[in-house]
């Protein structure tokens, strides 16, 4: 398997029109090396992360490797309300060759850095949540060392598992990315700024809550992460965004209730709802600090009527149309 593959334009299809009424007529597929620096118009670049090795190592249901294309297929069918001057490109997919997740994460980081340097807003489609380590490092390489990055994770899980196994060997997986980031921050003497929205007790063992406390991670439990508390949630999110220079948002689809997202690596009916995520995203985007976003853990093998892929594509559609 090649570590990078271009996206074929026919992955995006839908109802035809003569006025770019649908996104499949708007999205332009280009190799990442052919994407030019943008100095004027707003530009988005979609990038796939076809890797399920981290999920496999974390004893999850495999199938997430096919997540990026499943989202693309649903995204192309959605209506296009964007002005002509807004560019939406597809920059291809980073693949996990020979189960080498660490190299895939590095390639993802480099690709995101390239897109940010060209003044594009990257939207990454996964793939296991181990993608977060690559996404974060791509943004970190782009911004000044004196500036702080805040991570906002929509997720039932902290993903703060230690990457040391019983023999003190380092084994990274889809449950360790934010722990890895925290350890890097500790080594570099930089703050670890992390807010997890939708955490559930039935999805995290006691040691993970203890790790969150030790790392001074902020989190909001699922019982509070509800649309009826949107005023309080917006206040907490605004307080977090005001404390950092840049925001990286990561959405783990297994945080949603399986009523909305059955096709994920770790489904549960106890998850959160799309409305509270959309309200929170609106607040985050209003900060003007959002720099990159990824969507993790789509598993098409277990999806029902493409429901989870449609949810993911609708989230991308919302970002494309509402990011200031």
pLDDT at position 1, please? 67
DSSP state, residue 296: E
CATH number at residue 278: 3.40.800.10
- List residues forming the annotated binding site for Mn(2+): 129, 155, 157, 159, 252, 254
Residues 133-190 pLDDT 10s: 999 999 999 999 999 999 999 999 999 999 987 677 889 999 999 999 999 999 999 9
Contact call for residues 245 and 151 (beta carbons, < 8 A): no
Q: How many structural domains is the chain composed of?
A: 1
- List residues forming the annotated binding site: 129, 155, 157, 159, 252, 254
Residue span of the structural domain in which 91 resides? 4-322
Contact call for residues 256 and 273 (beta carbons, < 8 A): yes
Query: pTM for the whole thing?
Result: 0.97
**Helix (H/G/I), strand (E/B), else coil: 4:** strand
Q: Which residues of 196-231 are buried (b: 16+ CB within 10 A; e: fewer)?
A: bbbbbeebbeeebbebbeebebbbbebebbbeebbe
195: tokens are 């807010």
Contact call for residues 264 and 218 (beta carbons, < 8 A): no
% residues pLDDT > 90 (the chain): 95
pLDDT at 74 over 80: yes
With a CB cutoff of 8 Å and minimum separation 6, the contacts of 227 are 273, 275, 276, 279
Contact call for residues 49 and 108 (beta carbons, < 8 A): yes
Residues 216-240 pLDDT 10s: 999 999 999 999 999 999 999 999 9
């Amino acid at each position: 398997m090649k570590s990078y593959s271009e996206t074929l334009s026919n992955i995006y299809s839908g109802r035809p029109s003569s006025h770019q009424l649908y996104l499949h007529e708007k999205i332009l597929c280009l190799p990442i090396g052919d994407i030019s620096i943008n100095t004027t118009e707003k530009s988005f670049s979609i990038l796939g992360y076809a890797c399920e090795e981290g999920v496999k190592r974390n004893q999850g249901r495999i199938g997430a490797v096919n997540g990026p294309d499943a989202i693309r297929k649903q995204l192309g069918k959605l209506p296009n309300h964007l002005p002509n001057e807004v560019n939406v490109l597809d920059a291809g997919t980073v693949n996990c060759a020979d189960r080498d997740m660490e190299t895939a994460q590095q390639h993802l980081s480099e690709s995101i850095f390239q897109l940010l340097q060209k003044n594009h807003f990257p939207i990454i489609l996964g793939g296991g949540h181990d993608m977060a380590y690559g996404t974060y490092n791509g943004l970190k390489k782009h911004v000044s060392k004196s500036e702080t990055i805040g991570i906002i994770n929509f997720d039932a899980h902290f993903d703060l598992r230690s990457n040391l196994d019983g023999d003190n060997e380092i084994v990274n997986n889809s449950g360790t990315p934010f722990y890895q980031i925290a350890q890097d921050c500790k080594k570099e003497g930089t703050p670890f700024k992390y807010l997890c929205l939708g955490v559930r007790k039935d999805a995290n063992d006691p040691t993970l809550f203890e790790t969150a406390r030790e790392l001074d991670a902020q989190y909001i439990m699922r019982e509070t992460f509800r649309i009826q508390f949107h005023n309080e949630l917006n206040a907490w999110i605004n307080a977090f965004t005001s404390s950092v220079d840049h925001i990286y948002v990561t959405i783990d689809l297994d945080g949603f209730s399986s009523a909305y997202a059955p096709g994920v690596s770790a489904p549960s009916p106890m998850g959160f709802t799309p409305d509270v995520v959309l309200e929170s995203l609106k607040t985050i985007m209003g900060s003007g600090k959002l720099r990159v976003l990824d969507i993790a853990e789509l598993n098409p093998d277990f999806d029902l009527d493409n429901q989870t892929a449609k949810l993911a594509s609708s989230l991308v559609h919302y970002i494309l149309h509402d990011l200031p």
